């Protein structure tokens, strides 16, 4: 008997087996339970994420001899024939091979006849975007008014190539790329079933090569098993897939960020000795630098980075002493180098020169230092090369200028909506304003906690307007028809909010999500995002006003004959406070 590849041997046979596509499984299952089954479906998504498998499972559920059920029996003759791709009333058509109008006309003729022994005639057209315009036009009328016994399932990786007239007649399901953790867990089950000894690290390398595609990951796993046998070593997987040893990668990157040219050149020599691709090495450097940038701006990168806890701790130690601007500059240079390596006759030389240049690149200088130097230069000019006393500047630790402290309404922070809430809370603990202020503070604390535990949900809540917070009722308003309003209709997000809120308040919570019409927006309280934007806008104006009036800036404009294009705080994380060095 010929060998059956893992992707076919372990092909999903029920909706429960579909990995990473729970939203599709639940929707199709509920449609079958309630008998609200549309006549045309469009499955879109990247390669190898389960579109054709889901189409076969749906066909089995519709034609199972045990009755309509979200869970086909996989035992009856109809289920077995569909699983083998031989169903008498299930037609799998390759859109790339049957692109003409004559093929569609033949299909239309076939549709007219009742199914031979099943409930429905089901037409699965893969890569449907390959059909010609004439073929799509010939299909339109059939899609609009199909016979009751016919169902269509279209699958494609490029939905933008399908005419809108076809899209409007289909229920569309977008298949997501499968998370790395889900692929690793699925590969682990297969390794156990096949009695393959393989480490978690090697499974991670195989899963990464899949890039979100389960089929690609399984094909790679097949290749690894063929090479290594029943016992898989990490070094063999690395060598087979052309991946660079992480220790070599981290050592080279550490030398680069610490400006140690010797370690950098030694790393490139090791890459050459081990026979790795210089372009692949450059790509992995870029991927690691991306992880460093994310860790620099998001301390808890839940869902943004794939890696073990040990790997993330190692990256955190590496990024602690590096500025964000230097990381961004390094990524930009390496991205350009990666393209040059593809066509260069001297790839090692190109990579060596780039890394040495980056290792010797001085750190970005603060604008304040340059301004102070220009200030000294101006004084020398005015005093005949003498070195007079330096003019006062707003350096770290100094109080802000007298003009800024006494700035009237422009410097008054009472225009900040968030501060207004806190000031209104001051009258007395029992007053309505005091209660509102306290509840507002509780709401901000709750959203901050949700941001740490579920960043996606927290980002949506920041755009919600808190209409009612009278426990156990929490009423949130979103602009009607907005993206965030549609997001909060998701039952998973609502369940996640309720669970965290109940733990936060220590009691049961009832969440209401209501739409806010355009004319009602001015009457609703501002969202946390709007409050933050208003606060930052006010503070940016203060910073700009002080910077433009600074004597050193005035001197620079006079000496250089230039103009101020942008004003921004010098310190990352300073919060735009006008007491910081600007």
With both helix axes pointing from N to C terminus, report the angle between 347-360 and 246-257 in degrees, rounded to the nearest 10. 40
Q: Which structure tokens are listed for 141?
A: 């009328």
Query: Which residue carries 């910073």 as its tokens?
Result: 543
DSSP string, 332-374: HHHHHHHHHHTT-S-HHHHHHHHHHHHHHPPPPPPHHHHHHHH
Q: What is the pLDDT of residue 27?
A: 92
SS3 state at 175: strand
Q: Alpha carbon of 86 to those of 72, 94, 415, 572: distances in Å?
A: 16, 15, 71, 63
Q: What is the pLDDT of residue 467?
A: 87
Count the Cβ atoms, other than its own, within 10 Å of residue 472: 12
According to DSSP H, which parts of 48-162 are helical?
A: 51-63, 77-83, 101-111, 133-144
The whole-angstrom separation of Cα 480 and Cα 457 is 18
The whole-angstrom separation of Cα 305 and Cα 209 is 15
| Closest among 417, 187, 179 to 307, alpha carbons compared | 179
> Which residue(s) pair with 153 in the sheet?
41, 124
Helix, strand, coil: what percent of the chain each, to 5?
55, 10, 35
SS3 state at 148: coil
SS3 state at 495: helix
Q: What is the pLDDT of residue 57?
A: 92
Q: How far is CA 360 from the centre of its chain?
A: 33
The whole-angstrom separation of Cα 306 and Cα 312 is 9
| Domains of the chain and CATH, by start | 6-175 (3.40.50.300), 180-241 (1.10.8.60), 246-360 (1.20.272.10), 368-424+534-582 (no CATH), 439-516 (3.30.300.180)
Q: Which structure tokens are listed for 62?
A: 């519709």
Q: What is the pLDDT of residue 443?
A: 87
> Which residue(s) pair with 476 in the sheet?
466, 513
Mean pLDDT by 10 residues, the chain (582 residues): 80 88 90 90 91 92 88 89 86 81 83 87 90 86 86 92 91 90 89 89 86 89 88 82 78 87 89 85 90 84 71 81 84 90 90 90 62 70 53 43 38 37 40 62 88 86 88 88 83 88 89 82 83 85 82 75 73 43 39
Q: What is the pTM of this model?
A: 0.57
Residues 6+ apart with CB under 8 A from 300: 452, 455
């Amino acid at each position: 008997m010929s060998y059956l590849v893992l992707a076919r041997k372990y092909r999903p046979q029920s909706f429960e087996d579909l990995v990473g596509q729970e939203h599709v499984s639940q929707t199709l299952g509920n449609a079958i339970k309630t008998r609200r089954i549309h006549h045309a479906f469009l499955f879109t998504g990247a390669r190898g994420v389960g579109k054709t498998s889901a189409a076969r499972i749906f066909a089995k559920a519709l034609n199972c001899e045990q009755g309509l059920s979200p869970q086909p029996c996989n035992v009856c003759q109809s289920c077995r024939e569909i699983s083998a791709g031989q169903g008498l009333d299930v037609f799998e058509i390759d859109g790339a091979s049957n692109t003409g109008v004559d093929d569609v006309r033949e299909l239309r003729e076939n549709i007219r006849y009742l199914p031979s022994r099943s409930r429905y005639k089901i037409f699965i057209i893969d890569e449907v975007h390959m059909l010609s315009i004439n073929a799509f036009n010939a299909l339109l009328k059939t899609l609009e008014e199909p016979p009751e016994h016919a169902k269509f399932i279209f699958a494609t990786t490029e939905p933008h190539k399908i005419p809108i007239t076809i899209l409007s007649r289909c229920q569309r399901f977008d298949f997501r790329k499968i998370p790395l953790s889900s692929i690793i867990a699925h590969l682990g089950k297969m390794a156990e079933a096949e009695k393959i000894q393989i480490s978690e690290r090697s499974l991670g390398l195989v899963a990464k090569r899949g890039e979100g595609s389960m089929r690609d990951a399984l094909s790679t796993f097949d290749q690894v098993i063929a090479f290594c046998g029943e016992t898989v070593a990490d070094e063999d997987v690395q060598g087979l897939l052309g991946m660079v040893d992480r220790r070599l990668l981290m050592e080279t990157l550490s030398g680069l960020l610490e400006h140690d040219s010797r370690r950098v050149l030694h790393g490139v020599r090791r890459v050459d000795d081990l026979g790795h691709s210089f372009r692949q090495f450059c790509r992995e450097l870029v991927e690691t630098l991306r992880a460093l940038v994310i860790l620099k701006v998001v301390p808890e990168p839940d869902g943004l980075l794939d890696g073990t806890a040990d790997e993330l701790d190692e990256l955190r130690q590496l990024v602690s002493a590096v500025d964000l601007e230097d990381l961004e500059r390094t990524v930009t240079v390496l991205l350009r180098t990666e393209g040059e390596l593809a066509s260069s006759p001297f790839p090692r030389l190109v990579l060596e020169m780039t890394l040495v240049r980056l290792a010797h690149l001085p750190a970005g200088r603060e604008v304040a230092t340059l301004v102070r130097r220009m200030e000294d230069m101006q004084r020398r000019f005015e005093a005949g090369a003498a070195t007079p006393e330096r003019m006062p500047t707003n350096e770290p630790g100094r109080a802000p200028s007298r003009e800024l402290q006494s700035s009237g309404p422009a410097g008054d922070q009472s225009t900040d909506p968030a501060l207004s809430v806190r000031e209104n809370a001051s009258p007395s603990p029992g007053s309505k304003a005091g209660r509102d202020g306290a509840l507002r503070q509780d709401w901000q604390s709750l959203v901050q906690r949700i941001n740490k535990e579920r960043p996606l949900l927290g980002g949506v809540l920041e755009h919600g307007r808190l209409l009612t917070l009278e426990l156990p009722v929490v009423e949130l308003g979103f602009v009607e028809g907005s993206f965030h309003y549609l997001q909060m209709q998701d039952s998973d997000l609502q369940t996640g909010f309720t669970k965290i809120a109940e733990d936060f308040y220590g009691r049961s919570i009832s969440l209401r999500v209501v739409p806010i019409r355009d004319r009602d927006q001015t009457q609703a309280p501002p969202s946390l995002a709007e409050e933050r934007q208003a606060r930052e806008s006010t503070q940016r104006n203060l910073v700009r006003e002080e910077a433009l009036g600074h004597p050193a800036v005035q001197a620079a404009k006079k000496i250089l004959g230039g103009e101020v294009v942008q004003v921004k705080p010098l310190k990352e994380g300073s919060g735009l406070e006008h007491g910081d060095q600007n």
